[in-house]
A and B are shown apart, each in its own frame.
Chain A
């Protein structure tokens, strides 16, 4: 039983870390990815 509990714990850790990593990737992309909402009024 302890083996499965440990596997379960590792899976929970993985999901939480994965979600945080995904959010961090999105955040970094938005901050430093170089994309911008293009504004040009002169057309």
Chain B
């Protein structure tokens, strides 16, 4: 046998041994498989970090272009990492607030035209934001900044912090992808158990990521999702059961009346969260905090609230904000928002109405911006 044929035979034998090793079960293969699983889990625990979610990678976690909580989480984590340029304006609210503002850039431009200072405007307004999540978002704002924080009150203020079941649901299925000491304290105050915290980002936010594994697998195949800001403009309900349709509207009015029946009790709970949030924000620098009424369809005010009750609500908010050194703005009337300019009880569907509201907000911000504490002018 020549040396060449011996080499070929050796290679052949080695290949057969490799195939045998690769195809037959063995303790070694099992150990390597288990080690690989553990290794991949360790890689996830090590590399899924706030920095990763704050990067463009967050788009792989979104279910759809309107999956606000993924995009708001990424924005909040980016703000926490990079801070904001002073003076900054942060608008925290729900979808009604989001749909009432044309864009952050336009709002900044309008403020600059009015007072000569261009603020760094950030809008964090996901669908149906609860008061507890608003407190968590406020907690994620930069540790030190100079500016204004606008907190949207939501279209059903009596709903705030009223139902322990709502908070329980949020603890079980968190919508924001970061933990917050403030949110944990609210959980504790409500008498609920704080979920197990480890200090590892992925483990601490397991509920958020767990719910999005399916989206991740889908998006790895289809590509990342791009966020859609305003989505109610020119929308029309397609049927009576749809949002803004006749049956939906009746049900919504009925529900709101139920909450209004518990107005005092629910308002106390909600306002206490706002008070704590505002105090924490004011400790971060030259910060003014504004509570702004989310644009509300006048038809909803008439049918659900009643004018007298709504006026009493406004007086209560004025008193509360005066007591706590805050500001209270209700811009719906000043923006002359008509019932036909709303898609439903709170979402604007007319571009012109959106522009009017944004201008009114800019007017107020431009007046307040140079008058914040520390500027030697009246707050």
User: Which A residues contact B (CB, under 8 angstroms)?
Assistant: 1-3, 5-15, 17-19, 21-22, 25-27, 29-31, 33, 35-43
Contact = CB atoms under 8 A, between A and B. Distances in A.
Contact of A37 (B20, B37, B63, B160): B63
B212 interface: yes
Given A5-B15, A9-B19, A15 B36 contact: yes
Given A22-B36, A30-B213, A35 B173 contact: yes
Nearest to A31: B214
Interface of B: 10, 13-23, 26, 28-37, 39-41, 63, 67, 69, 94, 127-131, 154, 156, 159-160, 166, 169-170, 172-175, 207, 210-215, 217, 255
A21 B37 contact: yes
Contacts of A17: 29, 32-33, 36
B33 A8 contact: no
A20 B41 CA distance: 13
Contacts of B17: 1-3, 5-6, 9
A39 B127 CA distance: 9
B37 A13 contact: no
Contacts of B29: 10-11, 13-14, 17
Contacts of A3: 17
A30 B130 contact: no
B217 A30 contact: yes
5 contacts: A1-B13, A5-B15, A10-B21, A42-B159, A43-B156
Main SS at interface, chain A: helix
Nearest to A27: B217
Contacts of A9: 17-23
Interface centre among B14, B19, B39, B170 (most CB of A within 10 A): B14
Main SS at interface, chain B: helix
B159 A37 contact: no
A37 B28 CA distance: 40
A33 B173 CA distance: 12
Given A10-B26, A18-B35, 19 more contacts: A6-B20, A7-B21, A8-B21, A9-B22, A11-B21, A11-B32, A13-B23, A17-B36, A18-B37, A22-B40, A25-B37, A36-B211, A38-B169, A38-B174, A39-B127, A40-B166, A42-B128, A43-B156, A43-B166
Contacts of B210: 29-30, 33, 35
B255 to A, nearest CB: 7
A15 to B, nearest CB: 5
Which 10 pairs show the lowest CB-CB distances between chains A and B? A14-B32, A18-B36, A9-B21, A9-B22, A38-B173, A6-B21, A30-B213, A35-B210, A2-B17, A17-B33
A22 B173 CA distance: 23
A19 B21 contact: no
Nearest to A12: B22
Contact of A14 (B13, B31, B69): B31
B128 A40 contact: yes
Contacts of B39: 18
Contacts of A39: 127-128
A22 B214 contact: no
Contact of B175 (A6, A25, A38): A38
A9 B127 CA distance: 52
A41 to B, nearest CB: 5
